[in-house]
């Protein structure tokens, strides 16, 4: 069962049986304390409180399946990332939340730097989740790639083989992109800084801005549609937005897909940038055992397959077989192996150099 999280009620304990009244007061107190502790532990094993900034309707099945497998009831509070972080800071040690789920490594790192996460101790997760997709305090459970999509009638594939190519003068007036302050682009900037340094990252951002077809606006799907319509020639997009259009049965979406060519950037260098959805266990979590079970469940073949089939993401567990037709059609590629914690920590530097470059 999945319920929306509005408020939490204190655990209620069963009274000690009346037949114990002949025992000493000290014995009764000891028995009561033992019963309360046992009842509390059992309750902790049967409930999980999640704050989630991952807003995909298809995820409902994940929570329902977890409850079906474990018997643990899931209470969930959905909200925007900044709102949930502020709530957690205000609640402090009294917070009822066990787990924070969000998208983008930079957002997870913000929560970690705020001291919200506790270290994760799980042999299952250490074995299942690749080392570059986890930190001591949070893990990634799915990935999405930041691909390049271009209008096949206006741009040649060989012109856009890397992120750096998007700053080339031949693409002047051809680039559409969402805001430079969006975490997806900040994480990409973080990867660029890690691999090529801040000066080169800033030079790239300045060249990119010079090539803008229009001021940044909208989300990744808007950029893909603008490229297909000829409003611009090329864009950067998270892969699952394109996969969603590929799986759509709407004629207008199929028309968009038909107009686009796709490139996995930087195959000859550090690989295509990937970002993540992830989660951490909160320091004040009242149900830590259930929280660990949930994260371990997210690494299971069943849940990992669901991320691919339900939301067009790649599983974090490499051994999981893909059935998603869009992901199969997009094919394999070399991905950036940088640790997600490092690219997240560079996000603040990326924001500053984007601001200097005029990418807002």
Per-residue confidence (pLDDT) for residue 229, from 0 to 100: 98
Give mean pLDDT, residues 112-139. Answer: 96
Per-residue confidence (pLDDT) for residue 59, from 0 to 100: 82
State both tokens at 35: 């019963």
Per-residue confidence (pLDDT) for residue 2, from 0 to 100: 54
| 183-196 vs 105-113: helix crossing angle, rounded to 10 | 90
H/E run at residue 167: none
Cα separation, 178 vs 169, in Å, equals 20
> What is the secondary structure of 155-183 as a DSSP string?
--GGGGSSTGGGGSGGGTT-EE---TTSH
How many other CB atoms sit within 10 Å of the CB of residue 352? 12
Confirm if 354 and 182 have CB atoms less than 8 A apart.
Answer: no
Beta strand pairing status for 47-52 and 99-103?
A: parallel
The DSSP output letter for 242 is: H
Cα separation, 73 vs 129, in Å, equals 25
Per-residue confidence (pLDDT) for residue 106, from 0 to 100: 86
Q: Rounded to whole angstroms, what are the CA distances from 354 to 84, 188, 199?
A: 26, 11, 12
CB-based contacts of 34, cutoff 8 Å, min separation 6 = none
Per-residue confidence (pLDDT) for residue 39, from 0 to 100: 45
Higher pLDDT, 83 or 40: 83
Confirm if 305 and 315 have CB atoms less than 8 A apart.
Answer: yes
Higher pLDDT, 39 or 129: 129
pLDDT by residue (tens digit) across 204-261? 999 999 999 999 999 999 999 999 999 999 999 999 999 999 999 999 999 999 999 9
pLDDT at 10 over 60: no
Strands (E), 174-306: 175-176, 234-238, 260-263, 274-281
Confirm if 106 and 186 have CB atoms less than 8 A apart.
Answer: yes
pLDDT by residue (tens digit) across 156-194? 999 999 999 999 999 999 999 999 999 999 999 999 999
pLDDT by residue (tens digit) across 314-344? 999 989 988 899 999 999 999 999 999 888 8
Per-residue confidence (pLDDT) for residue 35, from 0 to 100: 41
Cα separation, 72 vs 61, in Å, equals 14
pLDDT by residue (tens digit) across 92-103? 999 999 999 999
Cα separation, 308 vs 298, in Å, equals 12
Give mean pLDDT, residues 285-312. Answer: 94
Per-residue confidence (pLDDT) for residue 25, from 0 to 100: 44
pLDDT at 11 over 70: no
Cα separation, 36 vs 12, in Å, equals 9
CB-based contacts of 319, cutoff 8 Å, min separation 6 = none
pLDDT at 37 over 80: no
Confirm if 264 and 145 have CB atoms less than 8 A apart.
Answer: yes
Per-residue confidence (pLDDT) for residue 4, from 0 to 100: 55
What are all long-range contacts of 85-88, with beta carbons under 8 Å and residues at least 24 apart? 85/110, 85/111, 85/114, 85/116, 87/51, 88/51, 88/114, 88/116, 88/282
Per-residue confidence (pLDDT) for residue 344, from 0 to 100: 86
């Amino acid at each position: 069962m999945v319920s929306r999280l509005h408020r939490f009620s204190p655990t209620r304990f069963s009274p000690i049986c009346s037949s114990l009244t002949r025992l000493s007061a000290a014995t009764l107190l000891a028995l009561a304390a033992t019963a309360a502790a046992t009842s509390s532990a059992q309750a902790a094993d049967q409930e999980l409180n999640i704050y989630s900034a991952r807003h995909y309707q298809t995820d409902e099945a994940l929570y329902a399946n977890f409850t079906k497998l474990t018997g643990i009831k899931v209470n969930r509070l959905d909200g925007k990332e900044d709102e949930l972080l502020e709530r957690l800071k205000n609640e402090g040690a009294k917070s009822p939340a066990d787990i924070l789920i969000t998208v983008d490594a930079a957002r997870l790192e913000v929560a970690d730097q705020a001291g919200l996460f506790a270290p994760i101790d799980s042999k299952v997760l250490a074995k299942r989740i690749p080392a570059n997709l986890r930190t001591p305090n949070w893990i990634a459970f799915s990935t999405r790639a930041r691909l390049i999509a271009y209008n096949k009638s206006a741009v040649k594939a060989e012109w856009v083989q890397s992120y750096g190519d998007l700053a080339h003068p031949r693409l002047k007036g051809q680039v559409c992109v969402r805001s430079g302050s969006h975490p997806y682009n900040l994480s990409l900037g973080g990867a660029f800084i890690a691999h090529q340094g801040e000066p080169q990252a800033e030079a790239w951002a300045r060249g990119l801005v010079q090539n803008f077809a229009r001021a940044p606006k909208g989300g990744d799907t808007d950029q893909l549609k603008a490229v297909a319509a000829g409003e611009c020639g090329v864009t950067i997009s998270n892969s699952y937005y394109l996969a969603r259009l590929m799986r759509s049965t709407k004629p207008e979406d199929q028309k968009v897909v038909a107009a686009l060519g796709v490139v996995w950037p930087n195959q000859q260098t550090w690989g295509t940038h990937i970002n993540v959805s992830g989660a951490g266990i909160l320091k004040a979590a009242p149900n830590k055992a259930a929280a660990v079970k949930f994260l371990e469940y997210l690494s299971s073949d069943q849940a990992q397959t669901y991320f691919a089939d339900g939301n067009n993401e790649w599983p974090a567990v490499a051994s999981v077989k893909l059935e998603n037709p869009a992901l199969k059609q997009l094919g394999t590629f070399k991905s950036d192996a940088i640790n997600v914690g490092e690219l997240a920590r560079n996000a603040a530097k990326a924001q500053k150099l984007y601001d200097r470059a005029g990418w807002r």
